[in-house]
Amino acid sequence: MKTNQKKAWLFLAPTIIFVTLFSIYPILRAFSMSFQGGSLIDLHWNGFSNYQYIFNDPEFWLAIKNTVLYAVISVPVGLAISIMLAWIIFDKVKHKSFFETTFFMPYVTSTIAIGIVFRYIFNGDYGMLNFVLRCLHLPAPDWIDDPAMSLTTIIIFGIWSSLAFNIVILMGALRNIDPNFYTIADMFGASGRDKFWRITMPELVPTIAFLLTMNVIGAFKIYTSVYALFNGQAGVGNSGTTAVFYIYNKFQIVGTPGVAMAATVILFLIILFATFLQRKMMKKIGEN
Amino acid sequence: MKRIRLGVLFSYIILFLFAVITVFPFIYMILGGLMSFQETTSIPPTLIPHHFEWSNYAKVFARAPFGRYFFNTVLTASVTTIVSLFNSLLGAFAMVNLRFKGKGLIQMVLLSLLMVPGEAIIFTNYNTIAHMGLLNTYVGLVLPFLTSIFYMYYLQSYFGSISDTIYKAAMIDGASDWDYIWKILVPMSKGGLFTVGLLSFISGWNSFLWPLLVTNEDTMRLLNNGLSAFASDAGSETQLQLAAATLTVLPILILYLIFRKQIIKGVVRNDLKG
Amino acid sequence: MDNNKFVEVKNLRKVYDNGHEAIKNVSFSVKKGDLVCLLGPSGCGKTTILNILAGLLNPTEGDIIFNGKSVVKVAPKDRHIGYVFQNYALYPHMTVLQNVMFPLIVGANKKPKAEAKKIATKYMELTQITELAEQKPGNLSGGQQQRVAIARALVQEPQILLMDEPLSNLDARLRLKIREEIRSLVKTVGITTLFVTHDQEEALSIGDKIILFNDGIIQQDDLGQNFYLEPNNYFVANFVGNPVIDNFKVTKTANELKSSQFTINLADLEQSRFKREIPDGEYVLSVRPENIVPDPNGLFETTVDDIELIGRERILKFTFDNEQVRSLINLETPIKRGDQVKLKMRFNRVFLFTPGGERVY
């Protein structure tokens, strides 16, 4: 069927045109722009000076530090809680789909809208969270307006948002484990804990690896939730700035697209490196 | 025996606690949108409003063109969904059923592009759209999203699970590729196409950064941008903010509750991201 | 136009993109109205040939001629063929009637709906599925799906019907029934049919002739009985026949064939059956189990390891040169496990092969 050749390209044409224009070209353009100075309408080559600029910019380092801290804390904690909840739902609950539906809700809802709600719940004076904390005689910090708390607030919101996807995917993986494994384990008199650590966890390794990758990539791209929590700011005095915030700021507000793109390239490399590192790590775990 | 029971009880408590934490913001949002300003900022906090202040919604609509936001959002989300689904459908069909030189290369390029975070290209895309003079237009809002590598990849795996003898049979029966797509492939993949459409619509509805970049006129804003602008403008009027947030979330939440099975199945099936 | 060569395949060769040579130089022809079986073990290239005939695959080299015209460059839909797939490939979202009508309502030779329905009904009657018209394929049994697939393949009134292992998804009893039905159906319609199967019994029972493939080449293209009586080579002798043929390693010297336990005087063989002069050396002597029988004046003596009952007959199993060898005897013969028996071969029914598989006797 030689005629296939032309036909195939015809069917793929819309995809190829759009992908070239809005996926491939922008990557190359971002890369080239990172070596250019000036505003969008007046770009000119200036070598590595954008990179020099960001490496000497304390705000850039704060953004990177916040983003990395956010990823390093929120991803493992969120994943651990997700595994725990998925396992409880899978192992001990009858109305599994009810809980699945409930926990998945945050995934489909707008981060902006729910961020506004969280801003309200986190309010230092009249927020629901501090009311509960005070009732329990726990310290009730000013989550929103204290620069020292910004990152913590972002992390808590991030964990809350990440549970949805993780739990649903983990439930899918748990359902896929051959029930005969458990039947055989029961015959040998394995305890619940044995079954969890010797059957469930090893079977979940590929799924957890996948979720880790997805979560880490997502964590490095964090922007919208910060925007929503702090009403368009990156926290008081920019204390909660993140990599994408920095890029947006340099691109749109300050008007130095070259600097923004240099930061984009660095962010992209960090994500690539993190993904690569994780793959290696999970491979090692898988081998043991 | 007793120890095991205790463990189960403990599990239930944890599960219940997290379920409350997950659902609470939604409930609080809906209730808070019906409170008076005093109730939203009272100490201790009010949970159930004394009197449902439906007028909050009237105020929201009066203060900002939320009707327009709705229209813009439904329009762009629908167009993006329909066109990207159409393009993905054709592309996925070609990748699954046709044989041609360069298929492996295309697949490899598409798969590696799947790894590129959208945030890395969104700013240069802004540049492109600006150059085309499409800022503050519907075309500018939807153009970069009229094809989705991700949904195409999803459909590929969906179509791949259909036996290739079905395609061969259609060829021998005299069907053209176009016949095959519309009379066989689409009716056979209704479920998958519907799920992809739903997820695409939801992510279109929730889009934020892109419309924030390419629009700055109030009449072109989408719901989420309108909402965040409104939240800044409405400043201290928390009850109005919450009412506006409810407006944004509720339609999607209802859609979700109706189609929860398809949506969750769709997400699990291919580890779909939004 | 030559009715003896209604379908003609000339020097066909197919190399897949991955470099696998599925078909190496295959040529054969089919007479108009014949039902020909393409037989062979899995991976022998028979389905590839069917796909090439249908136009679903392009040949690397060679020509295909239907009814006097080369069709290599013709699209599948214009080859006037019907195709029945192994998994039937029924469209699951359409009813039986819609499935059968489908070829008539798409493409260039679209027919008005009423006419399409009339033709479809005619073929549904022929395949006895009229009462299933409104059912979806998912609700049908394997046998019923099979009939729908055949009706759909015939509805365009093709000149050639191609069937790819159409019975392999059915259970054993149904398979016997349907294969007879298929034969009588294609004979009623008078359509030239190529039928791919890996089951020799199926091929022998329904084929007007059989083409046996292995390793991408034709091993034998012949009437069914000749695969038993006159196999072309070692592969054919061993592929066809149940229980399988017995093989004995022998060494030929000046005037005898010597094995580890017996010696045959070359003068005892029928000289006219030798295909050519054969030099001294290693050969394989093959005998069908029904032609190696207990006899007091047998060629050699051995111990019966086991006896297997197959219907009206029994198979004696014994060991020869560490290989299992079989002899087919009737039910009444009073032999039991552990007995010493003497066995005799019918020399006019044995075959002699070179180590390369060529038949020389």
The structure tokens 């991803």 sit at A75
The answer to whether A103 and B16 are in contact (CB under 8 A) is no
Structurally, how many domains does chain C consist of? 2
Cis peptide before C296 (omega within 30 of 0): no
Q: Is pLDDT larger for residue A233 or for residue C48? A: C48
Q: Report pLDDT for A288.
A: 59
| C101 within some domain | yes
Indicate the pLDDT class of residue C107, thresholds 50, 70 and 90: confident
Tokens 């009237």 correspond to what residue? B58
Predicted model pTM: 0.86
SS3 state of residue A109? coil
Which three-class secondary structure state does DSSP give residue A101?
Answer: helix
Is residue C316 domain-shared with residue C230, that is, in the same domain?
A: no
Last residue within a domain, chosen from C192, C209, C237: C237
- Token pair of B19 as six digits: 């379920």
User: Residues A113, B26: contact at Cβ < 8 Å?
Assistant: no
Whether residue C55 sits in one domain with residue C172? yes
| Sequential pLDDT tens for chain A (288 residues) | 445 688 899 999 999 999 999 999 999 999 999 998 888 777 888 888 999 999 999 999 999 999 999 999 999 999 999 999 999 998 888 888 899 999 999 999 999 999 989 988 888 888 888 888 888 888 888 888 888 888 999 999 999 999 999 999 999 889 888 888 888 888 888 888 888 888 888 888 888 888 888 898 889 988 888 988 888 888 888 888 999 999 988 988 888 889 999 999 999 888 888 888 887 877 777 665
Domain membership flag for residue C129:
yes
Task: Tell me the pairing of strands C209-214 and C35-39.
Answer: parallel
Mean pLDDT of B11-18: 91
Strand ranges across the sheet with C263-265? C263-265, C256-258, C246-252, C281-287, C351-353
> Which residue did the predictor score with more confidence, A80 or B45?
A80
Distance from CA of B188 to the nearest CA of C (A): 6
Please report whether residue C58 resides in a domain: yes
| C42 contacts C198 by C-beta, under 8 angstroms | yes
Q: Does the residue C102 lie in any domain?
A: yes
Residues C120 and C197 in one domain: yes
Residues C28 and C68 in one domain: yes
CB B64 within 8 A of CB B80: no
Interchain contact, B19 vs A99, CB within 8 Å:
yes
Q: Same domain for C117 and C233? A: yes
Give the CATH number, domain containing residue C300.
2.40.50.140
b (16+ CB within 10 A) / e for B206-220: bbbbbbbbbbeeeeb
Under DSSP, is residue C318 helix (H, G, I), strand (E, B) or coil? strand
Residue C312 shares a structural domain with residue C212: no
Q: How far is CA C179 from CA A102, C160, C176, in A?
A: 55, 18, 5
Residue C358 lies in a domain: no
Chain C contact set for A2 (CB, 8 A): 58
CA distance linking residue B225 with residue A229, whole number of Å: 14
Q: What is each CA distance from B33 to A124, B227, B249, C281, in whole angstroms?
A: 20, 14, 12, 100
A262: closest chain B residue by CA: B120
Q: Final residue of a domain: which of C188, C209, C237?
A: C237
Query: Nearest residue of A to residue B43 by CA position?
Result: A126
Answer whether B120 sits within 8 Å of A27, measured CB to CB: yes
Would strands C21-30 and C35-39 be described as parallel, antiparallel, or unpaired?
unpaired
Task: Please state, for a pLDDT cut of 70, what percent of chain B lies above it.
Answer: 96
Place of tokens 């007995």: C339
Q: Assess whether C200 and C73 both reside in one domain.
A: yes
In a domain, C361, yes or no: no
Query: Could B179 and C107 be called an inter-chain contact, meaning their C-beta atoms sit closer than 8 Å?
Result: yes
Neighbours of chain C (3+ CB pairs under 8 A): A, B
pLDDT tens profile B97-112: 998 888 989 999 998 8
Domains of chain A (ranges plus CATH)?
81-287 (1.10.3720.10)
User: Chain A within 8 Å of C55 (Cβ-Cβ)?
Assistant: yes
- The answer to whether residue C359 is domain-embedded is no
ipTM: 0.86
| Chain A residues inside the 8 Å CB shell of B25 | 114, 117-118, 121, 160
- CA C353 to CA C326: how far, in whole Å? 19
User: Which burial class, exposed, middle or buried, applies to C117 when counting CB atoms under 10 A from its CB (0-12, 13-18, 19+)?
Assistant: middle
Q: For residue A286, what pLDDT is reported?
A: 66
Contact between residue B114 and residue B156 where contact means Cβ atoms under 8 Å apart: no
Q: Are strands C21-30 and C7-15 parallel, antiparallel or unpaired?
A: antiparallel
Residues C248, C233 share a domain? no
Q: What is the mean pLDDT of chain C?
A: 90
Q: Quick one: C148 and C111 in the same domain? A: yes
Torsional sign, CA C140, C143, C145, C148: negative
Judge contact between C265 and C298, C-beta under 8 A: no
SS3 A153: helix
Which CATH number fits the domain that encloses residue C186?
3.40.50.300
Range of the domain at C306: 243-353
Residue C147 lies in a domain: yes
- Domain final residue, candidates C237, C269, C301: C237
Question: Are B171 and C77 an interchain contact pair (Cβ–Cβ within 8 Å)?
Answer: yes
Domain co-membership, C253 together with C343? yes
CA distance A1 to chain C (A): 6
DSSP secondary structure letters along B136-192: TSHHHHHGGGSS-HHHHHHHHHHHHTS-HHHHHHHHHTT--HHHIIIIIIHHHTHHH
The minimum CA-CA distance between A49 and chain C, rounded to whole Å, is: 50
CB pairs under 8 A between A and B: 270
Do C163 and C41 share a structural domain? yes
Q: Is A112 helix (H, G, I), strand (E, B) or coil?
A: helix
C197 and C309 part of one domain: no
Identify the CA nearest to C242 among candidates C323, C321, C344, C311: C311
Q: Considering only alpha carbons, which residue of chain C is nearest residue A2?
A: C58
* pLDDT for B272: 41
Residue B88: φ, ψ to 5° = -65, -40
In 3D space, the residue among C240, C238, C266 whose CA is nearest the CA of residue C253 turns out to be C266
In sequence order, what E strands does C103-173 have? 160-164
Domains and CATH numbers, chain B: 65-233 (1.10.3720.10)
Residue B273 pLDDT more than 60? no
CA distance A4 to chain C (A): 11
